[in-house]
Amino acid sequence: MDKRLELEVSSTLSRGSAANHTRRIERLLGRDWRIALPFVLPVVIIMVGLIAWPFINAILLSMTTRSLINGTTQYVGMSNYARLLTDTDFIVSVKNTLTFTFASVGVKFVVGMGIALLLHGKLPFRNVLTGLMLLPWIVPEVVTALTWRSIYDPIFGGLNPLLQGLGLISRPMAWLAEPALAMPSVIAVNVWKGIPFYTILLLAGLKAIDREQYEAAEVDGASVIQRFRHITLPGLRYVIIVTVLLSFISTFNTFGLIYLMTGGGPGGATRLFSILAYEKAIIGLRFGPGVATALSIAPFMALIIFVLSRIMQPETRAHLKKNETIFDRVLGWLGKLLVALLDLLFLPFEWVNEQLGRLIKSVAHLVNYHPQPLKRSERERVGIVTRLVLLLPILVFVLFPFYWIIITSFKTDLQIQRYTSIFWPEPWTLEQHRSLLQDTPFLTWFRNTAIVATTSTALSVIVAALAAYAIARLKFTGSGLLTTLLLITYLLPGSLLFIPLYRILTDIGVINSYGALILTYPTFLMPFATWVMLGYFRSIPVDLEEAAMIDGANRFVAFWRVTLPLAAPALLSVTLFAFTNAWNEFLFAFVFITSENLKTLPVGLQLLVFGDIYPWGKLMSASLLMAIPVVIVYIYAQRYLVEGLTAGSVKG
């Protein structure tokens, strides 16, 4: 009897000790750490193995150089960075990068804001017009580059005859061959490609502004410019900051578009720092100096990423006033300075608008003309017509490259070479499509792209959904840090990672294989997908999952059967976004794949070019066939894409 009592006491003490141990672990790792572990482990492995380690490896590699005598690697410390200060090529490339970035971002913001304002409100066929404005964004980068190179061609292109016909130029211009014209030309293409990103996010921001504010301001006599200055801009402040900074990062690190159009020429006029890093590391096999070139802008990028990460995280914004730091106060002062600059910018417009109104009233008084005020319905009709007229030239700018792709792909080689019937095929022919499919490895490239894009998309979306759910629903130590790291990873430029990734993939023996791309594509697909899914999961009521678990479901079953189906729009959105980015990716495929049988479409298309000979018919036919799958998918699921991007990436 005593022995049994002893055993019971011992068992009770053991259970108590185990319970205390469990509570200590939960206090240390969080209440749900056991459940969260399988959800977040895949994303942690990807981030550590394919992002953190390559980045650390890049830093170490940037402090080495390779001896030309015996081929050994030597540690040189900060010498590679010190040499950049006197490297003329580097200094010129940084100037080119800054010129390209600031000009592109500025024009994209102005044009994107204009389009968003024109599309906002009642407009016939607004969904169709919005879909058309999205087309440049979803078209593969290689298609964009080749199409515009064809349009810019001084002999066979469509831009010169168009401008000559309008009387804007007197002679054909070599747009990409003259140093003075090359940079403005590639900036124009980047603007064309990036306008939809601004339009989508700014349009979503405009929809969130209460229309009653505009109506009250209009009753008080505020002009259109005053309403824009005092209502629209303040209402879009957060969206504008996020959009501009995201665009700045992607534009600053542009590689494929410029490389495919000019290769950095002529004479280095369009050589950006990313192209210079590639030339040093991959072409020149000077990995240390090449990585140092890429990492030289890391502090600048780190500052922008830090600002953006603080702004985009809802927890940070909610507690900004409570935990305000010196950095936050500096941002506040910069914001006030920006408002003051905008006030100064809009003062002349307001003055001109006021004087114009007075002039019209004076003229009407002199001629004794007193028009009756328009009714509300009449004002709306006038507004719709005005907006359609203003949208027309923008629509022409957006759609002309697509028209050029189609008509060129249905011309014969003789028709293109003789430069006859420039803007209309006579006759229409399938010769280019037939030759492309029979005489080139296009179908092999298509297959490779489909395999890589589908596999990497599936992997990225599955990992993203699991990680996003854990962060949104479960309590575990490090969830906030993981959220921040995901955002930083999403913003980390590929130009900083491709050189160390090349070395790592070579060391593990998967370079020049499907595995090289399937392993590395999630580095830029997964973080964004996680961020968007996180925003959706937070908006789904927790009560639904709790009810399922009361009925006997475990956490994974509740996630799979309750939460995931409700997040279907976000799931479709991130799948589309990830697939499109994987389908269009150029830099990694260009660097990591050397075998002709494994090349993807973005890389394969440039192989159709032989020296200075561009088979424009085949190139435009290939561009059309490459773009069709993506365009069809986006036409079908445009609404889900816009909903997912605006709800996840902006609202976070």
Give the pLDDT band of residue 648 (cuts 50, 70, 90).
very low
Q: Is the pLDDT of residue 397 over 80?
A: yes
Torsion angle defined by CA atoms of residues 328, 331, 335 and 338, in that order, rounded to the nearest 10 degrees: 170
Over residues 155-168, the mean pLDDT reads 86
Q: Is the pLDDT of residue 573 over 50?
A: yes
Distance between CA atoms of residues 499 and 291, nearest Å: 7
Distance between CA atoms of residues 184 and 191, nearest Å: 10
Instruction: Say which residue, 55 or 634, is predicted with more confidence.
Output: 55
Give the pLDDT band of residue 69 (cuts 50, 70, 90).
low
Q: For the chain, first and last CA: distance in Å?
A: 63
Tokens of 554: 């475990």
Please state which CATH number belongs to domain 442-476+509-652.
1.10.3720.10
pLDDT in tens, 85-99: 888 999 999 999 999
Sign of CA dihedral 226, 227, 229, 230: positive
Q: What is the mean pLDDT of the chain?
A: 79
Torsion angle defined by CA atoms of residues 76, 78, 81 and 86, in that order, rounded to the nearest 10 degrees: -80
Max Cα–Cα distance, the chain, nearest Å: 118
Give the pLDDT band of residue 68 (cuts 50, 70, 90).
low
pLDDT, residue 649, reads 45
Instruction: Say which residue, 575 or 363, is predicted with more confidence.
Output: 575
pLDDT, residue 320, reads 47
Q: Where in the chain is the domain with CATH 1.10.3720.10?
A: 80-293+375-409, 442-476+509-652
Radius of gyration in angstroms for the set of CA atoms belonging to the chain, rounded to a whole number: 28
Distance between CA atoms of residues 39 and 59, nearest Å: 30
Over residues 183-212, the mean pLDDT reads 87
Q: Is the pLDDT of residue 182 over 80?
A: yes
Give the pLDDT band of residue 12 (cuts 50, 70, 90).
low
What's the count of helices (H) and strands (E) in the chain, helices before strands? 34, 2
Tokens of 414: 């003789």
Over residues 552-564, the mean pLDDT reads 82
DSSP character for 649? I
Instruction: Say which residue, 408 or 320, is predicted with more confidence.
Output: 408
Q: Is the pLDDT of residue 651 over 50?
A: no
Q: Is the pLDDT of residue 431 over 60?
A: yes
pLDDT in tens, 400-426: 998 998 898 898 888 887 777 788 888
Question: How many Cβ atoms from other residues are within 10 Å of residue 148's Cβ?
Answer: 26
Among residues of the chain, what percentage have pLDDT more than 70? Answer: 79
Q: Is the peptide bond before 427 cis (omega within 30 degrees of 0)?
A: yes
The separation between CA 637 and the C-alpha centre of its own chain, rounded to angstroms, equals 18
Among residues of the chain, what percentage have pLDDT more than 90? Answer: 12
Contacts of 607 (CB under 8 A, 6+ apart): 596, 599
Over residues 312-331, the mean pLDDT reads 56
Q: Is the pLDDT of residue 644 over 60?
A: no
Q: Is the pLDDT of residue 363 over 70?
A: no
Over residues 12-38, the mean pLDDT reads 64
Over residues 377-387, the mean pLDDT reads 72
Instruction: Give the lowest-confidence range in 419-428, 459-468, 637-646.
Output: 637-646
Topology, domain 80-293+375-409: MetI-like fold (1.10.3720)
Distance between CA atoms of residues 171 and 496, nearest Å: 42
pLDDT, residue 191, reads 94
Whose CA is closest to 33, among 232, 57, 41?
Answer: 41
Distance between CA atoms of residues 293 and 83, nearest Å: 10
CB burial of 66-86 (b: ≥16 within 10 Å; e: otherwise) equals eeeeeeeeeebeebbbeebee
What 3-state DSSP class applies to 74?
strand
Packed helices 498-507 and 53-61: angle between N→C axes, nearest 10 degrees: 100
